[in-house]
Amino acid sequence: MGARTWLAASAVLLTAGCAAEATPVALPPAAPAPVEVAAASSGGACRLLDFGVIAKHTGVRFDVAAAVEQGDTHVCVVRAERKLLPELTLTVTETSIDTSGFTQDVLPRGATKVSKLGKIAYRQKLPKSGKTGPGAEVGWLATEGRLATLRWTCPAGTDPAEAEQLTGKLVNLAKAVDTRRL
């Protein structure tokens, strides 16, 4: 019986020693946590937009922004990462026109005037064009000598009535855009 106890103790010691020498198993690295980047990080006119504010006013969540500047004109385009449309474009241009010049040269025929947005403003529904659906546009002459427009382009197949509803949503979004920060 002593031999059996000695063999059992030896087996336990040998297996315990083997377990201590086992090489560790490498685990794959954890996937990086997604980080939400603000539209403002793209610079230009994108500094005037915030993805959360856009979603609050339009009900659509965007997560990609791109900006370009040409002379006195600043443009920001926002989209959802995996979709081309819908698309929202903000354009801000330095200008010296006044309200009569805006009415004569900028205000589109058939557009509806908007109150309580800049010095003078309009909104309009845009017809479908090419491979895109209808759209909506809001334009205004800001108090600090800047002409601004927000334009929404819908995907093909969008009901024109939805574009009409978007004009009201864009007016509310435009009221949240502070062009003085540019």
C-alpha dist (Å) from residue 106 to 37, 89, 123, 124: 34, 17, 12, 13
Q: Are the beta carbons of 179 and 94 closer than 8 angstroms?
A: no
Predicted TM-score of the model (pTM) = 0.80
pLDDT at position 81 is: 83
Confidence of residue 28 (pLDDT cuts 50, 70, 90): confident
Confidence of residue 123 (pLDDT cuts 50, 70, 90): very high
Helix residue spans in the chain (DSSP H): 2-20, 51-58, 99-101, 160-176
Q: What is residue 41's three-state secondary structure? A: helix
Q: How far apart are CA 78 and CA 89, in angstroms?
A: 7
Model confidence at 14: pLDDT above 60: no
pLDDT at position 24 is: 76
Q: How far apart are CA 48 and CA 122, in angstroms?
A: 20
Q: How far apart are CA 87 and CA 156, in angstroms?
A: 12
- Tens digits of per-residue pLDDT, 95-116? 999 999 999 999 999 999 999 9
Share of the chain above pLDDT 90, in %: 71
Q: Which of the two residues, 13 and 97, has the higher pLDDT score?
A: 97
Model confidence at 126: pLDDT above 70: yes
Q: Average pLDDT, whole number, for the chain?
A: 88
Model confidence at 78: pLDDT above 90: yes
Q: How far apart are CA 67 and CA 53, in angstroms?
A: 18
Q: How far apart are CA 14 and CA 18, in angstroms?
A: 6
Model confidence at 12: pLDDT above 60: no
Q: How far apart are CA 16 and CA 1, in angstroms?
A: 23
- Tens digits of per-residue pLDDT, 31-72? 766 666 778 888 899 999 999 999 999 999 999 999 999 999
Q: How far apart are CA 39 and CA 28, in angstroms?
A: 32
